[in-house]
Structure 1
């Protein structure tokens, strides 16, 4: 399979992986043929990339970090409970008990991560953006739990970290939709309203049965930054809990690699560059190193150009050095298709570098966005 940006799709291509909507329901299955109308709908739904079938890479498989079934169940629970919290007719005293529900989601994700200890973070954007908040909450939870496992947290610590990351943006349920989903740049007043989601989240969670108080603090602190430039309280490094620091990195990465109505998505290597621009000032250096070690900087299936002029598709990632993948070379330096494509392992060819990635965009939003 091959990973292509929506803008590179052509009628007649066939999907290699399912596409889901915001409820986790399959919209298009593997093998579905793309028409001009379907491509237009995918674009309008905000998809960034899709996997397509390709004879040159039909032996290449991309495994999800978490199974489609777990994602579907998790998205349904997130949607149900976030919608209840957002409903002004529902008093806080009658909120459903969310602790048990979200603990179950976290345990399911942890079980799947335990079954695949070498898992790498791939692109998580193979779904429509009908409701960004639900998918973002799930993605951040998955990323954060993976980082926590690599860091060495115990199962009990991971459960608290997982609940905190899954609910880190729950306060956005109380932000007016016309601000939360505004297609243009926010005014200063609107941005101040958005920032209130951290305080709302803390108030929602702090007295909720079954939710650890530390998880409520994750919602409160995930936008705090080491140098005191974050919000809501402008805390500096010593006063920010480590869980909130991990969530802050995952939250920023997922926001950068997901398209929004006001900007296109970045590819992983671009997003990582943005995060590293804040190393030591916004984000913890050692945590960023852990994150970098688990990121598929050049995801399997992406088309790349090499410094020797060759062009091909990433077909394998070395978990020890993910920035030096194996590339299946399809075109020579003159842009001519090779009669016999071959695999080039960049780990053994140190003079060859990746110089361009298909789908790369030039716009770089702020890492604090």
Structure 2
């Protein structure tokens, strides 16, 4: 099985994994033979990458860290939740609104506990980077991704279950303040003006003020919204606090937040390759991020997951066939095309071996 872009698909290819729409209904079932009409339908639904089964990728298994049905449910819950919270807290805090907010928190807690259960049962590197994306609204899907990354990082920290659940709730709700920001600014394709950037920065304080008023939300959860852009060296916002003044939850969340943000395609910039995103985290280790969290995060994620089609700097194309936990960013590759972009009899190379250390992955189209 391998992941490729829809616009790279040929008629007659076989769908490798079932695709669901945003409501959780089956859009296309595994095993479906693809044709132009179906590929056009996928594009119309905002689906740009899919898994296919073919002889080239035979034997390569792709295991979801979180079942797609659960991720869909989580996105639906957070979508409804953020909208409900911001609408009820914008109005008078009467009993009815308090009850609505309480139901939202319980729903989010429930879906996060299901996510946590999956991660505890399957303690392997998280594969979210190569997930088929069917949700257009960045804030909602980003919130779920950050919750999953933060949960895994909290597990790596050996935190108590109660603390992990609070981090998960904080991660799911950390960007609630963006619901109050003009979407034209949030989705602006060009560089923000100074005034626009200052407006966006308000989301941290707005999120905190919203969450701290909800009785069911512990104060540390509200601080996740407030502090996720703070930096260890005090150069973050909104308050410029430093080091130990920053809550441990926020130290974990900030690493997950930045990694998911930079590896996601946005209207104003393309996604960066995962190993470059990890380099970005390391460059901020000890200044922007707590060094311990960056080091632990490195072991949490599958930088280049199995099934991903990649291109090397020598021009060859291959499929990630095995993830090397001892050398993140340097997986085993099944070469399927040579330097001249012509198909070859597939063969394996390991980027972690001495003979291949000079090779670099320069393109993973399905991630961009």
TM-score bracket relative to the smaller structure: 0.7 to 0.9
Map 1:193-342 → 2, pairs under 5 A: 193-305=199-311, 311-332=317-338, 335-339=341-345, 341-342=346-347
Contact map agreement 2:175 2:203 (CA 8 A) in 1: yes
Tell me what 2:354 maps to. 350
Q: Deviations over 1:67-97 (max 9, x none)?
A: 1222222222212121223437754441511
Per-residue deviation, 1:128: 2.9
Query: 1:99-138, aligned counterparts within 5 Å?
Result: 99-123=105-129, 125-138=131-144
Between 113-122 and 57-66, the greater mean CA deviation after superposition: 113-122
Aligned residue pairs: how many?
A: 360
> Which segment drifts farther, 233-242 or 21-30?
21-30
Q: TM-score, normalised by structure 2?
A: 0.87
Partner of 1:367: none
SS of the residue 1:324 aligns to: coil
Q: Which residue of 2 aligns with 1:69?
A: 69
Matched, 1:142 2:135: no
Rounded Cα–Cα distance in structure 1 between residues aligned with 2:45 and 2:286: 36
2:336–2:347 CA contact under 8 A, matched in 1: yes
CA distance in 1, matches of 2:272, 2:37: 25
> 1: CA distance between counterparts of 2:25 and 2:240?
40
TM-score (norm 1): 0.87
Q: Using a 3 Å threshold, how does the CA distance of structure 1 residues 350 and 122 change in structure 2: closer, same or farther?
A: farther
1:271-305: per-residue Cα shift (whole Å, max 9, x none)? 21222222222112221111111222222122345
Change (3 A) 1:216 1:344: same
CA shift at 1:253, angstroms?
A: 1.0
Structure 2 residue runs without a partner (length 5+): none
- The answer (yes or no) to whether the contact 2:224–2:253 under 8 Å persists in 1 is yes
Note closer, same or farther for the CA distance 1:39–1:282 as it changes in structure 2 (3 Å cut): farther
- Conserved? CA contact 2:313–2:362, under 8 Å: no
5+ residue gaps, structure 1, are 364-369
CA distance in 1, matches of 2:18, 2:93: 37
Q: Secondary structure at the match of 1:216?
A: helix
